[in-house]
């Protein structure tokens, strides 16, 4: 005989159906995350431990409705995990993606191999990579720049008290005081072609800032600026790593081939082309 479903089970089942109908890619996961956020009960214990009161039920249903309208899950919970840190996010800032953690790991590995590394993050957004570097490489001197004022405010929250040198401005002329002295430059620039509007998920297209998404006809306008800035900032032998779209595994490295050493493309955890790396020649 099947037992009576708990209130949490009923709420989750109904929310999952609603989100699936709305086209959300991970409906059960998102429903559980929202109920956990509202009740404070871990996702793994929701069925047995969550007993949402009427106010929590109402809040949960409002959040599910917003998620069904494709508001980003992370905007609704107010944060997202990135490597070993939590990043505060919300309207006005690009939500860090799991695939970017691989790029951050590359930068951290290079920084760890040096005694007093100088690391610069371009297009910092919420500051996820910079925060990860300063968290995992305590001896690093970390600098970050963000152009969008709202995103910069989120980065300020995330990087407060960390010692990261965060600046508001255009990466094209940022950090002139660091020219030729940087060991690692890392960037997750905008890389979506302007004509790819329809292919972008509503969560990103409608809620991430435009400055973080679109980058000219081929999606590589910002990458070309990254290449120029990295060349200016890095000392001989310094390295650059920059994220790109999975369809740019050949075109993104071509931006660096004319004057960089060791240009190669790298895969993310799903084995898709994800970021290009290169070194400034020593000679």
- 189 labelled as ligand-binding? yes
- 146 labelled as ligand-binding? yes
| Nearest of 98, 160, 149, 161 to residue 125 by alpha carbon | 149
- 275 labelled as ligand-binding? no
- Which distant-in-sequence residues (6+ apart) come within 8 Å of 67 by Cβ? 19, 22, 24, 30, 34, 73, 76
- Burial (0-12, 13-18, 19+ Cβ within 10 Å), 185: buried
| Nearest of 131, 157, 161 to residue 144 by alpha carbon | 131
Residue spans of beta strands (DSSP E) within 76-181: 79-82, 85-88, 118-122, 141-146, 165-168
- 188 labelled as ligand-binding? yes
Q: How many angstroms separate the CA atoms of 207 and 33, rounded?
A: 20
Residues at the binding site for substrate are 188-191
Q: Name the binding residues for S-adenosyl-L-methionine.
A: 146, 188
Residues within the annotated binding site?
146, 188-191
């Amino acid at each position: 005989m099947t037992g009576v479903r708990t209130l949490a089970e009923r709420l989750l089942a109904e929310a999952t159906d609603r989100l699936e109908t709305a086209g959300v890619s991970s409906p059960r996961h998102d429903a559980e995350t929202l109920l956990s956020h509202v009740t404070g009960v871990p996702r793994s214990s929701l069925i047995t431990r969550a007993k949402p009161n009427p106010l929590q039920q109402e809040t949960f249903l409002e959040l599910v409705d917003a998620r069904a309208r494709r508001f980003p899950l992370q905007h609704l919970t107010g944060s997202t995990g990135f490597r070993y840190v939590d990043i505060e996010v919300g309207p006005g800032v690009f939500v860090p993606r799991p695939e970017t953690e691989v790029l951050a790991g590359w930068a951290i590995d290079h920084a760890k191999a040096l005694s007093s590394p100088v690391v610069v993050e371009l297009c910092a957004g919420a500051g996820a990579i910079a925060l990860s570097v300063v968290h995992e490489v305590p001896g690093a001197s970390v600098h970050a720049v963000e152009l969008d004022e709202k995103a910069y405010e989120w980065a300020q929250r995330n990087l407060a008290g960390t010692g990261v040198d965060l600046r508001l401005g255009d990466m094209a002329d940022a950090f002139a005081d660091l020219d030729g002295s940087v060991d690692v430059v890392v960037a997750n620039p905008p890389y979506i072609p302007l004509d790819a509007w329809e292919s972008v998920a509503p969560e990103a297209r409608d809620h991430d800032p435009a400055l973080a998404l679109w980058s000219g006809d081929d999606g590589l306008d910002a990458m070309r600026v990254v290449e120029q800035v990295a060349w200016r900032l890095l000392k001989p032998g310094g390295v650059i790593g920059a994220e790109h779209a999975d369809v740019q595994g050949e075109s993104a490295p071509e931006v660096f081939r004319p004057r960089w050493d060791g240009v190669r493309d790298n895969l993310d955890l799903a084995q898709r082309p994800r970021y290009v790396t290169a070194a400034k020649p020593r000679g």
